[in-house]
């Protein structure tokens, strides 16, 4: 997938994850895009752990995995911000 594809993919996945996750996130356009892209890699990591196969840390996942990974990252970010 090219760079423009990753940007669009990341934005859409991050936008859907923010819509599903309750509460106010306060992320802008770029942060939402980066959230979706990071969510794709988090989803790939979660999938490799659940499968029990070889653990490839930087394995991207599909759209559903990206949304799930972005939700997990939002939840981790919320827990970290509540800690302060």
Buried b (16+ CB within 10 A) or exposed e, 27-44: beeeebbbbbbbbbbbbb
Length of the chain: 84
Ordered per-residue pLDDT tens for the chain, 84 residues:
688 988 899 999 999 999 998 888 888 899 999 999 999 888 888 888 887 766 666 677 788 889 999 999 999 988 888 776
Q: What's the whole-model pTM score?
A: 0.83
Confidence at residue 19, expressed as pLDDT on a 0 to 100 scale:
93
Query: Tell me, what's the pLDDT at 83?
Result: 74
């Amino acid at each position: 997938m090219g760079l423009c594809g990753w940007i669009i993919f990341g934005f859409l996945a991050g936008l859907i994850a923010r819509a599903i996750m309750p509460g106010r996130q306060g992320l802008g356009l770029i942060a939402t895009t980066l959230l979706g892209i990071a969510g794709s890699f988090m989803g790939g990591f979660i999938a490799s752990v659940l499968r029990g196969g070889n653990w490839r840390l930087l394995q991207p996942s599909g759209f559903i995995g990206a949304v799930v990974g972005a939700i997990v990252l939002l939840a981790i970010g919320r827990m970290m911000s509540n800690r302060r």
